[in-house]
Structure 1
Amino acid sequence: MRWKLLRRRWSVSAPRVTVRSRMPWPLRWLLLALMMGCSAALALWAFEFGKEITGLDRDAHTELVALREETTRMREEHDRAVSVANTADSLLKAAQTTQESLAARVKSLEAENLALTRDLGFFEKLMPAQDNGKPLALRGLQATLDRPGHLRYQALLMQAVGRSGEFKGRYELTLTGTQEGRPWTQTLNKVGQSIEMKQYQRMEGTIDLPAGAVVKQLEIKVLDVAGKLQASEVARM
């Protein structure tokens, strides 16, 4: 009986035995945390010490300062470039506006010059009329087509040299040419074509032509209040 008990106790079929530590588990976790913290601090110290030995920390700091200075310089250059670009754009717009204004002014001056040239040519013909026995003289008759179907005319009626007094009357316009290939004549005697002057009077106006009419000649006749012819002039086109 004793032998069976001893064999059961020391054989494989012996009862299980649990070995428990006397240190509580919170204390074990705290000890493990302390060990890991010490290991991390040691590793960090080794890393920093290695950077000081190799000089990496000093080079990185120098490069960081240089990069900051380079960034500041590039920002200043960018701001200057933007300012120059804005100024150039403003100057370009001002130059374009000035050029457009000058072009409009040149065009206006050209039109004025052309008008003055025409007036000069007109007034060059307006020398004082000689007394040839007629009290009136027509000078500088001109007839031009401004556009198709629109005729413009102008002339100057003057008293002869040495003549004085007021003249009253009217003038007639006679157009001669062709209309659709056939001979055509038209006489205009409007209320607005009256004359009342002492020395001279400028006669001018526009005429609307009928469709298909081609004017070859314009004649102006000056008549007194009694209908008597006092002066006439013909302009051929």
Structure 2
Amino acid sequence: MSVRSSLPWPLRWVIAAVTFGFCAAIGLWAFEFGRDIAGIEGGSAGYVEKLEQQLSELRGQARSMKDERDEALAKANTASTLMAAEQAAQERLSELNRQLEADNQRLRDDLGFFERLIPTEGGSESLAIRGLQAVVQQDGQGQQVKWQVLVIQPQKNAREFSGQLEVQFIGVQSGRPWSAPLPQGPQPIRLRQYARAEGTFQLPPDTEIRSISAKVMQGDAVRAEQSVKL
């Protein structure tokens, strides 16, 4: 047994055409509505153009800021170089100043040294100690005495002298009298016109030096001596 539709085929074609047209109309409406929401048509095109223009301006500003940053870095590097050069120059000036002060002190010492070589009026001694000096200084081990002795023969065409120099340090240690010679003992000394001897002496702990004395010996005879208080 077969079942057939009661609608004739022309009517069925009409219904199918109407249904297809309705679906096409709905699809077209959905496409247009979606395009309006996305902002593709009408005023949205101008909005996109505006966004592109702003993006271009932002890129220009970014390039400008990068150039300013590079320029600032270059100036900073130049300033650092100038500061380093100025610091190096300042250090060189400080070193030169210290050297000049040392040279000035050496010249004063030499001037005093040669002033002591000038013979005294009416002097008849054949050998004399003209300059005995001592200065107490601080060092990493405590106190030390820097000493200097100048021995001269004031006569012209004097014979060469050969003898020994004795230096004695006198003071107080822990409240008691104290004295000590040079650790290495008497020093040999030889001169025709003048001779200068100098050195340092390390003071023992709890010791206060009061004076220093120097003697020029020839055998057992004392040829010259001098003492100074500190």
Q: How many residues align?
A: 215
Question: Which residue of 2 is the match for residue 184 of structure 1?
Answer: 178
Mark the structure with the bigger radius of gyration: 1
**Secondary structure in 1 matching 2:195:** strand
C-alpha separation between the residues in 1 aligned to 2:144 and 2:214?
17
Question: Which residue of 2 is the match for residue 11 of structure 1?
Answer: none
**Secondary structure in 2 matching 1:85:** helix
Q: Please, which of 169, 172, 186 is the counterpart of residue 175 of structure 1?
A: 169
Are 2:53 and 1:70 aligned? no
The alpha carbon displacement at 1:210 in A equals 3.6
Question: Which residue of 2 is the match for residue 206 of structure 1?
Answer: 200
What aligned pairs does 1:111-190 form with structure 2 within 5 A after superposition? 112=102, 115-116=105-106, 119-120=109-110, 122-123=112-113, 125-130=115-120, 132-147=123-138, 148-188=142-182, 190=184
CA deviations on 1:55-74 (whole Å, 9 max, x unpaired) are: 54554454444333333222
- What is the letter of the counterpart of residue 139 of structure 1? R
Q: Please, which of 214, 223, 226 is the counterpart of residue 230 of structure 1?
A: 223
- Percent identical among aligned pairs is 28
TM-score, L = length of structure 2: 0.70
The alpha carbon displacement at 1:142 in A equals 0.3
Q: Is the 8 A contact 1:51 1:57 kept in 2?
A: no
The alpha carbon displacement at 1:103 in A equals 3.8
Q: Is the 8 A contact 2:117 2:152 kept in 1?
A: no
**Secondary structure in 2 matching 1:203:** strand
What aligned pairs does 1:55-94 form with structure 2 within 5 A after superposition? 55-56=46-47, 59-94=50-85
| CA separation of 1:63 and 1:154: change in aligned 2, threshold 3 A | same
| CA separation of 1:223 and 1:77: change in aligned 2, threshold 3 A | same
CA deviations on 1:159-218 (whole Å, 9 max, x unpaired) are: 113242211011112333323223333445855611112221111122233443322121
Q: Is the 8 A contact 2:117 2:154 kept in 1?
A: no
Q: CA RMSD in A?
A: 4.1
* Structure 1: unaligned runs, 5 residues or longer: 1-14, 23-27
C-alpha separation between the residues in 2 aligned to 1:231 and 1:200?
13
* Structure 2: unaligned runs, 5 residues or longer: 14-18
C-alpha separation between the residues in 1 aligned to 2:70 and 2:25?
55
TM-score, L = length of structure 1: 0.68
The alpha carbon displacement at 1:233 in A equals 1.4
Q: Please, which of 99, 115, 131 is the counterpart of residue 90 of structure 2?
A: 99
| CA separation of 1:39 and 1:106: change in aligned 2, threshold 3 A | same
